[in-house]
Amino acid sequence: MKTPTLYLVGDSTVSSFDDKYYLPRYGYGTQIANYLNGIAVKNLALGGRSSKSFTAEENYKLLLSSIGSGDYLSIGFGHNDEKAEPERYTNPMGGLNDEGSFAHSLYVNYIVPARERGAIPILCTPIVRLSEEDDYSGACGHVTSTVGTYAGGDYPAAIRKLAEQTGVTMLDLTALSMARYKASGYEKASRFHAWACTVKGVPAGLDGTHLNRYGAMYAAYDWAAALSETDCPLKNYLVNLAPPAESEYKGAVNENFRELVYSPFGGEAAKELHFSLPSPWYGTVTGDFGGEHFNEFIVEGDGQNFTVGNFGVVPRGKISNATDGFACAFLQLPSSLNFTITAEAEVSAVGGGANGQSAFGIMLRDDIYADQYVASLNSNYVAAGVLGDCALFCREGGTLKKMPNPAGIARGEKFTLTLTRINQQIRASVNGFSQSWFDFDLTPVDGKFDYLCLFAARSITVKFTAVRFTPNGTSSRA
């Protein structure tokens, strides 16, 4: 007799990972087998995919060719269906029969094919994102706002309604994770999540979207506990129905993680850079960009005009909640130097992998790594630039902070950028939006130098023209 298989499809909150974080990322799909016996589990989930974009993947073709009578299909999308991008977006407001809607995508791409092949589909609402304010009424609970032509709405509600209309078993992981996070509070709930690194032994680079193994075990338990309350025959395979012990948190730590030891830029590192620029400028690719993919980046210029970006088929680099990776032309500056830099920026190319983690602009940061892959880069900086749909952002103490200034990354868009340091004030502006930071700490890693970067990340290429750097003496304390 054929052993039945549970197939899992979904995004990165379901998928497996292979990273070097201090508390590595785990999708809950990697832990579901712990709660089942007598059934095979095949996790086909892929990071970054929506219910729409997943259908272009080989894993979707494998699903359709493999799933059959007596099998089950757990469907876990939502995080990326929210993205205001044509490749991934689906409308949460549309109904079952409305093409382009979230409900329609789930129905025609997953429910119908599973049933046609004699398999039983199961709908899962998405787990919440961690909210520092313990507020899950909005985006952290997958209730989104309208962005341009992309209508917002309640994605979990769309799944609940679809399940009711089609008679499909529904596991409300949104409600379960929300209740658990609210009961725990932010600090305790953050222990369910991935942390990119440590700084002086303290966890840093919190990833509010992705779980660590302990968190994935808990989400898998939620999945199993919810299943046990349904009439779905898959529940007959459930075993070990108990939440993970808190001791599992310690076991989620990467025992091979070593805190990065920083060496100030210069010497041989300056001579061996992949990209060559006229002095005093240097070019590098640094941070979380996948490693050894320099041929998929461009950093070139003559001292006044530069082109910087990532143009490969696979998106490289990002500015994310947990880590940063980017290409840049940069200046090494004494940390006491006052200056002003201005530039005109034009987005010259946008690839298919561009998303809310794509970014560009002028950045003043604490440290730089010479053509080095650093999976946990999340040191301090201020950016006069654009990140996804907002202008101006910074990272401090590992936490990414975006200012509420509307912007966007589209081919042909032009921006005027300025960044100034006067003593203890750093002031940045983008097309009239401006922000000042006072006593911003750019010394935790490299206390001697700061690094001024013309940067771009993730499937975009940007031309910086009329670049003017003007030093203005050294800083003094008020």
Taking 50 as the threshold, does the pLDDT of residue 263 lie above it? Answer: yes
Taking 90 as the threshold, does the pLDDT of residue 354 lie above it? Answer: no
At 43 the three-state DSSP class reads strand
Give the separation between CA 19 and CA 13, rounded to whole angstroms: 14
Question: Nearest-CA neighbor of 454 among 439, 466, 464?
Answer: 464
Taking 50 as the threshold, does the pLDDT of residue 155 lie above it? Answer: yes
pLDDT tens, residue by residue, 291-300: 778 889 999 9
**Domains of the chain and any CATH numbers:** 5-251 (3.40.50.1110), 268-474 (2.60.120.560)
Residue 312's pLDDT is what?
77
**Helices 173-184 and 213-228: angle between axes, nearest 10 degrees:** 130
Span 447-458, mean pLDDT?
A: 96
pLDDT tens, residue by residue, 390-412: 999 999 998 999 999 999 899 99
Residue 255's pLDDT is what?
94
Residue 1's pLDDT is what?
74
Using 50, 70 and 90 to split pLDDT, how confident is the model at 476?
A: low
Average pLDDT, the chain: 94
Give the separation between CA 25 and CA 22, rounded to whole angstroms: 9
CA 81 centroid distance within chain: 14
